[in-house]
Structure 1
Amino acid sequence: MYQLQQTTDEPLLNIQEMQFWLDKAVAWGQADSPDSQKDTCLHLSKLKDFLQQLLTKINSMGSTAETMKRLPFLGQFLGRLCWNPYVTADAASRKLLFQSLWGLYSECPCNAVERKANQWIKKVFCQLATEEDDAATHATIKHMGVPPGEYHLKVLRKMVAWLQENTGKSCSSFSNINQRCSCDRTLAMSEACVPLVTCPEAAPLIGALLQRPMTCFRSTLSEDFLDALSSAYPSQSASLEEQAVVSLWYHSLPSLEEAVLRLLECVSTNTGSETRTLEQQLSESLLPKACAQHCSMFLVVNDIFRSVLKQAQWNEPVKCLIQTFTSCFLRELALQQHQARVSLKAWFPQSPQRLLVPLLTLPSEMPREAWRRHLNWLSSSLQRLTEEEEGEDGESSSSTSLEGHYKIFEAWFLLVQCAHWVHVATELLVTSEPEDSSLLLWLLTFYHHPTNRGHQRALQLVRANEASGHLHSTFSPLAPPLPVESLKSLITLLSPGSQQPSLPTLFILSLFVNFAVFSQQSLSASTETFQTVVDGSGLVDEAASLLSSLELKLNGGSCLSGDANRVHLRIKALQNTLTHMHTALGPAENPEHTLTV
């Protein structure tokens, strides 16, 4: 089969023969008479032989301008044949016409002739693919017995199939080094696809262009092509397969950034999203899978999360998104077994290397009896890191933000990404004796409140210890349900701004929910206390979200309790209590509470 890259010397085209076929093309017109249709069919075989010679001649020329100078009637000849339905209906003839047109396309037009030729070629392809209402077009195909739309789709599909076949051929696939490199056609193909990005029939070609091996510096995609796809894909106007979307993000940084920002906007406007729903959103977004395939893409996404978190350290929905994204990413990364293993340092170059592996290790990857020792080590290591950096500059350590504390922020950012250990620490705190929980409390306090706020971390820990002790007493196995008056102090703890410095509301609520779920107190007593405190604090939605998250983690095996059935029953009972509270309040009376810590 003839290849586009063939450069063997051929004899010059016979001028008389060229004139003969040009006269035929003029006489046939658009094959709208029985005589012209019959004559076209009779000459079709010999026409294909001539087109083959013509294509060889085109590819032997140094430029489009040279081709047009030597064959001045070439454009008129090809144009007339493209509008003859009896020529384009033949697959071999149509392929030769397409190849000839692409041979005339100039990647970098140097003069007015080549620029005009490029415009004309684009127009021919675009009209063949999209123009259905033109009267001349209807007249052209009326004798074929098919609707105009169906004819155009068939032409487009054939063109796409041929171009797709050729996009897979890069210069590295040639056995003959003298063959003409087709990589310089990639730019031209992608430019021609700009008006077709929303056309479903062009999706295979677009996908092939995006996934074409980058083996040559010439295999560049048009910026207009990437911009058009980036605009069409979010609105689902462009039909792309999963791997094509990943390739689009790989080629276009603005498109990747836009996808991340859309996800952040979606989460920020839907603060009540459960972890399960968030995981589904992330899976559908393809971002974790894309990042697991390309380290460079993960670094970009991670950098966006880092920047957003610096500006919104207390935004719980953003922290939840980062945690869930990292969890989904690590799962996808584990599936990429066929790829060469990349070191964790390459994925997390800014994270404290000493903490990297211990934090990225999942609880399910080590024995449960080792969890407490592991968490104590993490807490001690984080304490040393914060003391070292804050001790280097006493003035900056009084800052109310993490600006200037690079190591502390990166350690906290990694802890936010690996919050599975924070959840385990919270559960361990419930089953620990108060005197054995200082390291766990420090870790939890640092996670919820990483800044020192004017050297007040020590006071924060005092408040956290008081809250923990209060919860231990409230949910003691021997303690009966406390009256409402005795629970007012606990309700006050859950009120933002009630203390100086105040503990984050979500921190106290998380402890409270975990105590209600994992304590050894009777279910009836815990449920009664739970209902009273949640009702009094007004944090019904937040408590429901925490219960749902606990249930999901229990299903995933991240739970210390050996009696999973007992914990499931307690979670269901507490969830039913919240459901009854919602029903009693009614939609009009149920206030909305958004945690702004």
Structure 2
Amino acid sequence: MAQDSVGLPSDFQFWMRKLSVWDQASTLETQQDTCLHLPQFQEFLRQLYEALKEMGLLSHILSTFRFDIKEVDLFTQVLGYAPTDYYPGLLKNMVLSLVSELRENHLNGFNTQRRMAPERVRSLSRVCVPLVTLPDFEPLVEALLTYHGHEPQEVLWPEFCDAVNEAFLLKKISLPTSAVLCLWLRHLPSLENTMLHLFEKLISSERNLLRRIECFMKDSSLPAAACHPAIFRVVDEMFRYALLETDGALEVLAAIQVFTRCFVEALEKEDRQLKFAFKTYFPYASPSLVMVLLQHPKDIPQGLWHQALKHISEMLKEVVEDQTHGSYGGPFESWFLFVHFGGWADMAAEQLMMSEAEAEAPEALLWLLAFSCGPGAGHQQRAQTMVEVKAVLSCLMKLLRSPTLSARDLQAAAGEGGEGAPRPPACQQLIRRLLLNFLLWAPGGHAIAQEVITLMAQTDAIMHEIIGFLDQTLYRWDHLCVEAPRSRKLARELLAELRGQA
């Protein structure tokens, strides 16, 4: 028995006879024959379904463009073609013809600018709604997305854009970034749905795994598409709302930083000169501050990191605390900009633990860390945070020179704030970051690390915060090519152990 679509007619007769026999008798032999042939019958039904699906498809397309399927059948019979031979070729040629019509035509060496009429483009996009996931139609889908007429209103059917975007998100269709960019520029709901889809993946995936977040980002095509400022602004605004709605959740902060890193990489990979000024991406920020934050620390000698951090701190402080810079949107906009490049704050905390710098630099780094805690803190609260952190840092520096080191000593160094007053949550988080950096870099930190973390992680939230810190530190070191074998080994061991407990 033939098992391909060409033999379907003879197979059909075979199975009709079988079904007639099975229906009229219920003997043991009939039951055995049914069991024996059932897998073959299922395969026949599958082939029949595929053939019928393709023939429904073709009738749908032909009827839309005023062809009569009976006329096509008569034509193929005269030519001596079987429908199974002729229809796939007809479909391929029809798609190529439509793609050519959607684009500029070149006839006899002349650019005729023959383009499909807008109403026909709209009709075609409506017809293609149920067909967007079929591989044969990918060229047509791409041609529709990249079609540019001179109409004042969008000509593509909205449901077509929805269907294409959903298929793209579910990996049922493959499209070049240029076509995806056109889709999101033409149809804002598609871009919004893509962002929501990304948020859902981030929420449902394992927390505190920046490598996976980076894969999600790049796989979504959002960083590459965001090289167009209109896309970047929408994506950035949605991150802003997510940050506000979650009250500055660490996962959202990490996602913003990973997105920004991937976005900057995408900009650097473009072959052409940058078409848009950075002002169009960050309209509320100081252009000079943006350019400084955009520097990759890997391109700066490690010995000059202190100086770069001090310069960033001074520029931010001038914008935030000097009233003459109100045109840049105030403290929140400056903080939101700094969040995008949050690796600088992590470097500041690390530098405070690693080097004995000149007296002025620690003050600048302390201000930078205090500012990174959040946009709601005013000048007075930042000053108090700096006092608290400076006191803890002084104790840690003494412990660093101590011949013996214990977990209880480190806990005592963290303290509880002046006169027993509880510290604000953001300040407590900042001090935990300093303690963790101390463990990673202090000679005696390895021996007491597990005990210190057990004392610190009194809640699941703090446990996840510590896991996030370790993951982000290793991720940043990889990008900066930091050579710290002992510290890396400790961070990896702690991360593996804590993830096993979480």
Give the CA deviation at 1:320.
0.7
Give the one of 524, 533, 540 matched to 2:452.
533
Give matches, 1:97-136, under 5 Å: none
Q: 1:428, 1:181 → 2: CA distance? A: 61
Tell me the CA shift for residue 409 of structure 1. 1.1
Amino acid in the other structure paired with 1:570 = S
1:326 aligns with 2:260: yes
Q: Which has the higher helix share?
A: 2
Cα separation, partners in 2 of 1:582 and 1:480, compared to 1, 3 Å: farther
Mapped pair 1:516 → 2:433: no
**How does 1:297-446 map onto structure 2 within 5 Å?**
297-338=231-272, 341-389=275-323, 406-433=329-356, 435=359, 436-446=361-371
Is 2:97 the counterpart of 1:188? Answer: no
Instruction: Identify unmatched segments of 5+ residues in structure 1.
Output: 1-74, 94-142, 393-403, 584-589, 593-597
Letter in 2 for 1:573: L
**Structure 2 length-normalised TM:** 0.75
Residues 133-532 of structure 1: matches in 2 within 5 Å? 145=82, 153-169=88-104, 175=110, 181-184=115-118, 185-214=120-149, 220-270=155-205, 272-292=207-227, 294-338=228-272, 341-389=275-323, 406-433=329-356, 435=359, 436-452=361-377, 455-474=380-399, 476-482=400-406, 484-489=407-412, 499-519=422-442, 521=443, 525-532=444-451
Tell me, yes or no, if the aligned pair for 1:389 and 1:405 is still in contact at 8 Å.
no
CA 1:176–1:576 in 2, change beyond 3 Å: closer, same or farther? Answer: closer
Q: Name the aligned partner's letter for residue 249 of structure 1.
A: W
Shift of the 338–264 alpha-carbon distance from structure 1 to 2, 3 Å rule, reads same
Tell me how far apart the structure 2 counterparts of residues 582 and 287 of structure 1 sit (CA, whole Å).
29
Quick one: structure 1 residues 235 and 89, their matched pair in 2 at CA, closer, same or farther if it must change by over 3 Å?
A: farther
Q: CA 1:313/1:214 → structure 2, altered by over 3 Å: closer, same or farther?
A: farther
1:346 is displaced (CA, Å) by: 1.9
> 2:314·2:364 contact (CA, 8 Å) conserved in 1?
yes
Superposed, which structure 2 residues align to 1:554-593 within 5 Å?
Answer: 554-557=477-480, 559=482, 564=483, 567-577=484-494, 579-580=496-497, 590=501, 592=502
Distance in 2 between the 1:376 and 1:454 partners? 18
Aligned residues of 2:184 and 2:191 also touching (Cα < 8 A)? yes
Cα 1:290/1:237, change in 2 over 3 Å: same
> Which one-letter code corresponds to 2:432 in the other structure?
L
User: Residues 277 and 471 (structure 1 numbering): CA distance in 2 closer, same or farther, change over 3 Å?
Assistant: farther
SS, match of residue 220 in structure 1:
coil
- Report Cα offsets for 1:212-262 as digits up to 9, x if no partner: 345666983222322332344333444544443232112211111111122
- The one-letter amino acid of 2:395's match is H
* CA shift in 2, pair 1:197/1:502, >3 Å: closer
Larger CA deviation: 573-582 vs 296-305: 573-582
Give TM-score, length-normalised by structure 1.
Answer: 0.64
Report the CA distance shift for 1:551/1:456 in structure 2 as closer, same or farther (over 3 A): closer
In 2, the alpha carbon distance for the partners of 1:219 and 1:245 equals: 16
Deviations 1:450-506 (A, max 9, x none): 3226932221111111222233233x1443222x44343357669xx9823344444
Structure-2 separation of matches of 1:263 and 1:246: 16
User: In structure 2, do the counterparts of structure 1 residues 250 and 461 end up closer, same or farther at CA, with 3 Å as the change threshold?
Assistant: same
Distance 1:88 1:234, change over 3 A: farther
Q: Does 1:84 align with 2:8?
A: no
Q: How big is the shift at 1:447?
A: 0.6
Q: How does 1:21-40 map to 2 (within 5 A)?
A: none
CA deviations on 1:387-424 (whole Å, 9 max, x unpaired) are 234999xxxxxxxxxxx993211111111111232222
Letter aligned with residue 180 of structure 2: V
| Matching residue of 2:34 | none
| Shift in Å, 1:344 | 1.3
Tell me, yes or no, if the aligned pair for 2:208 and 2:464 is still in contact at 8 Å. Answer: no
Other structure's SS at 2:226 match: helix
Matched letter for residue 281 of structure 1: F
- Closer, same or farther: CA 490–530 of 1 in aligned 2, 3 Å: farther
Residue equivalent to 1:548? 471
Distance 2:378 2:206 in 1: 27
Q: The residue matched to 1:233 in structure 2 has which SS?
A: helix
Q: What CA RMSD, in Å, does the superposition of the two structures yield over aligned residues?
A: 3.7
How has the CA–CA distance of structure 1 residues 80 and 277 changed in structure 2, closer, same or farther, with 3 Å as cutoff?
Answer: closer
Rg larger for: 1
Give the residue type in structure 1 aligned to 2:101.
N
2-structure distance, mates of 1:280, 1:541: 21
What is the letter of the counterpart of residue 215 of structure 2? Q
| Aligned CA distance change for structure 1 residues 340 and 406 (closer, same or farther; 3 Å) | closer
Contact 2:225-2:231 within 8 A present in 1 as well? yes
- Contact 1:183/1:216 (8 A) holds in 2: no
Give CA deviations for 1:344-379 in whole Å, capped at 9, x if unaligned.
112221212231111112212333333222211221
For 1:87, the aligned partner's letter is F
1:440 Cα deviation from its structure 2 partner: 0.4
